[in-house]
């Protein structure tokens, strides 16, 4: 009888714990849910002072999908933007974020594009990694979908740099 009471008590505690962690209000990851609005707010603030952009060409096949770590380690192109808060690229990124409607994705992408934003203490403030067209990505480690306009902007701006064109020319819409 005592064993049965302990088993029932353990089952009740287990159910209560599961119900508590399943509640959206108590889920700690709910506060970290990536949103384009929150990302734009961070870029508008003076928190971000440096940006690194990573690219691995989609034409290059790999044996396994590219993770954020492998992209940073094996990228073909790495572009550093110092004094990010003063560059015209900042306003372009904010405008691209305004066009996004991010949704939660079910899986992590084959990362071909990456952006790491650093604060004044040289610590990572925000990270974004995307597949070749931005349909799937990771924002601060959370899988998302719907970042096509952002990756399109990165492609336009960065290809000019590695093709030796002007550092910055305004985009014509």
Count how many domains the chain has.
2
pLDDT per residue as tens digits for the range 68-81: 999 999 999 999 99
Size of the chain in residues = 173
Task: Please work out, in degrees rounded to the nearest 5, the angle formed at the alpha carbon of residue 30 by the alpha carbons of 25 and 34.
Answer: 155
- With respect to residue 173, please indicate whether it lies within any of the assigned structural domains: no
pLDDT per residue as tens digits for the range 90-123: 999 999 998 888 999 999 999 999 999 999 999 9
Q: What is the rounded CA–CA span in Å between residue 19 and residue 28?
A: 14
Domain holding 15, by residue range, is 1-28
Predicted TM-score of the model (pTM):
0.75
Same domain, 137 and 120: yes
Q: What b/e string do you get for 14-42 counting C-beta neighbours within 10 Å, with b at 16 or more?
A: eeeeeeeeeeeeeeeeeeeebebebbbeb
- With respect to residue 83, please indicate whether it lies within any of the assigned structural domains: yes
Q: Would you say 111 and 138 are in contact if contact means Cβ atoms under 8 Å apart?
A: yes
- With respect to residue 60, please indicate whether it lies within any of the assigned structural domains: yes
- With respect to residue 110, please indicate whether it lies within any of the assigned structural domains: yes
């Amino acid at each position: 009888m005592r064993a049965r009471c302990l088993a029932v008590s353990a089952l009740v505690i287990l159910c209560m714990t599961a119900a508590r962690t399943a509640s959206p209000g108590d889920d700690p990851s709910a506060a970290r849910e990536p949103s384009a609005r929150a990302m734009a707010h961070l870029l508008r603030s003076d928190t971000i002072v440096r940006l690194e952009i990573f690219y691995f060409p989609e034409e290059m096949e790999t044996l396994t999908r590219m993770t954020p770590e492998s992209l940073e380690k094996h990228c073909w192109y790495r572009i550093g933007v110092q004094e990010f808060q003063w560059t015209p690229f900042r306003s372009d990124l904010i405008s691209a974020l305004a066009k996004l409607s991010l949704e939660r994705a079910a899986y992590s992408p084959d990362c071909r594009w990456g952006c790491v934003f650093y604060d004044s203490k040289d610590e990572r403030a925000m990270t974004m990694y995307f597949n070749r067209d931005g349909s799937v990505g990771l924002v601060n480690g959370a899988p998302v979908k719907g970042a096509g306009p952002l990756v399109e902007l990165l492609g336009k701006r960065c290809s000019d740099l590695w093709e030796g064109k002007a550092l910055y020319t305004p985009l014509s819409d």
